[in-house]
Every structure is written in structure tokens, then in C-alpha cells.
Amino acid sequence: MPVGRSRTEDTGSARAGMAFAVTAYGLWGLLPVYWKLLGDVPAHEILCHRMVWSLAFVGALLALRRDWRWLPAIVARPRLLLIFLCTGSILAVNWLTYIWGVNTGQIVETSLGYFINPLVYVLLGVIVLRERMRRAQVVAVVLAGIGVLYLAVLHGSFPWIALTLATSFAAYGLIRKIAPLGAVHGLALETMALFPFATAYLLHASLHGRGAFGTGPPAATVLLFLSGSVTAIPLLLFTAGARRLPLVTVGILQYIAPTLQLLLGVCVYGERFSGARAVGFSFVWCALLIYTVEGLARWRRG
């Protein structure tokens, strides 16, 4: 126990961390409901608004905290700016794919992407960072691969939405792991890098009468405006939770989001989830069970 802290304080911190993390993953799991409300707006336009209003929200937060001292040092390092332009672009691909998948009735497949994401992250660690996979991780990755191939054969088409979401988010996490900025500062820099492109598109669409903001239903305008806070608030909650919880706990809680997405797709929006499709998902779930149990055992051995 750290010096100067009581067991009661540690317990309180852990409880707060659990509440923050569960709320964050719960909000991410319910996000399809939000994008469905914007189903009449093109996915790429929603993406641009999400970028612009996320920067506005995070910028206002940093201004309130007077937390801009980190920015001049970052701007003076072109290589670091390039890294965050890269992570911002990867994040844009992830967001665009997710919004498009949700609003074209493929929430179940988007959930698959976030179920297999941890295993893709392990695989990228082996390929990029030359890390060694443990035996249980190899078994988990192979099982997940079998499940994805089964689903591809079952549907007669490659599950590109799921794999794009999984690989893009894993690549994003891998690069952000080595980038020397926290979640809030990083999101500010990423949205700042893409702000000119997003703003240029939105201005062009507005001038040609194609933009939904201010010209469509008032509800759509409000939802587009709030897309920044919808993006940033779960991230802030997650960051607060992750600081107070062991990494293995955060790893287990991450399955809340895709589970809620799957339930929404099947139970609320009526997407098809046949027995044959469930078999493919079962391979992925077995892989995640092995991966999680092995991680827990390794953590307990300390």
C-alpha cells in the first residue's frame, strides 16, 4: 500500500475507477443508438462534425483548465506532429467505418470487430514490436481466426467491417502506446490535425446546400453539435477509470461495449443472428475466454 494512503482510500479509489470505466464502456456500447438517430445524414458528414465538435469540446475543457503549456513543445517537433496526424487518420477510418456499419444495419458485425480487437492487438505486437506470444495467446488467435473464416464462408463475403474496426483500433492503440501524450491531449492534437479537412468539407457542403447542419431537422443539428461531447465524455471517463484500476480489470471490462452492441443489433434493431452465425461468434468468444483467463492467471502470479 502506498505511504500515506489508507485501505479505505484505496478501496474508494478502486470503486470510483470501476464506476468510471463501466460507465465509459456502457456509453460506448450504447453509441449505435446515437448514430441511428442520424441515419439520414451521410456517414462521412457525421465524421466531419464529430472531428470538429470533438476539438471544440476538448479545446474548451483545456481552456477551462488552462492546460495549453504542452502544445508549443509538441508543435516544435514535426515528427511528433506527423505521428498524431497518422493516429488521427487511423481514428477517422475507424469512426467512419463504425458509423457507416451502424447506419447500414450491420451493428452485429461492428460488435465482432471490437470482440476480436484485443487479439489483433496481440498479433500486431508480434509483427511490429517483435513481442513473443505465449501459448495460450497463440491458441486464442488461431481460434478467433477460425471464427472469422467461418463467418466469411457462411456469408459468402469477407467480414471487412469487423476486421477494419479491429485492425484500425489496434493500430491506433499501438501507435498511441509510444506517443508521449495522454488521452485528452492526444485527442486534441488528432482532431486539430484533421480539423482543416473536416471544416473544408462541411463549408463546401453547406455552400452547395448539401449539409445537414442548420438546414435539416432541428434534432439532427443538435445531435451533430453534441457529437463532440458524445465522443469526448466516455474517453475522459475511461481515462479516469484506467488510472484507478489494474490493467487486467480494464481488459475484462472492455467486453461490455461489444456485448451491448450485439444485444442492440439483435434485440432492438432486429438484425439477423442465426445459429450458424452464432457458431462463428462462439469461436471468437472461446478465444477471448482463453485470452482473459490466461491474462488473469499471469497477473495473479505477479
If you average pLDDT over residues 155-182, what whole number do you get? 83
**Residue 268 DSSP symbol:** I
User: Rounded distance, CA 16 to CA 25, Å?
Assistant: 14
Q: Is the residue at 282 inside a domain?
A: yes
Read off the pTM: 0.87
pLDDT at 168 over 80: yes
Residue in 120, 116, 112, 38 with CA at minimum distance from that of residue 265 = 112
Q: Is the residue at 131 inside a domain?
A: yes
Identify the residue with better confidence: 1 or 88. 88
- For residue 98, what are the domain limits? 7-301
Q: Is the residue at 1 inside a domain?
A: no
Number of domains in the chain: 1
Q: Is the residue at 2 inside a domain?
A: no
Q: Return the top range by mean pLDDT from 5-9, 104-108, 188-192.
A: 104-108
Q: Is the residue at 140 inside a domain?
A: yes
pLDDT at 11 over 80: no
CB atoms within 10 A of CB 56: 16
User: Rounded distance, CA 38 to CA 134, Å?
Assistant: 43
pLDDT at 1 over 50: no
- Using pLDDT thresholds of 50, 70 and 90, give the confidence band for residue 51: very high
Cell numbers at 108, concatenated: 452485429
**Residue 265 DSSP symbol:** I
pLDDT at 272 over 70: yes
Handedness of CA 250, 251, 253, 257 (dihedral sign): positive
pLDDT at 97 over 60: yes
pLDDT at 300 over 90: no
Helix boundaries (H) for 66-207 = 70-75, 78-103, 107-129, 135-155, 160-178, 183-207
pLDDT at 66 over 60: yes
Q: Mind listing the pLDDT tens digit for each residue in 237-247?
A: 888 887 777 76
CB atoms within 10 A of CB 16: 15
Q: Is the residue at 104 inside a domain?
A: yes
Residue in 212, 208, 234, 163 with CA at minimum distance from that of residue 48 = 212
Residue 98 DSSP SS3? helix
Rounded-to-10 torsion of CA 274, 275, 276, 277: 50
Q: Is the residue at 127 inside a domain?
A: yes
Answer for the pair 61, 232: CB distance below 8 angstroms, yes or no. yes
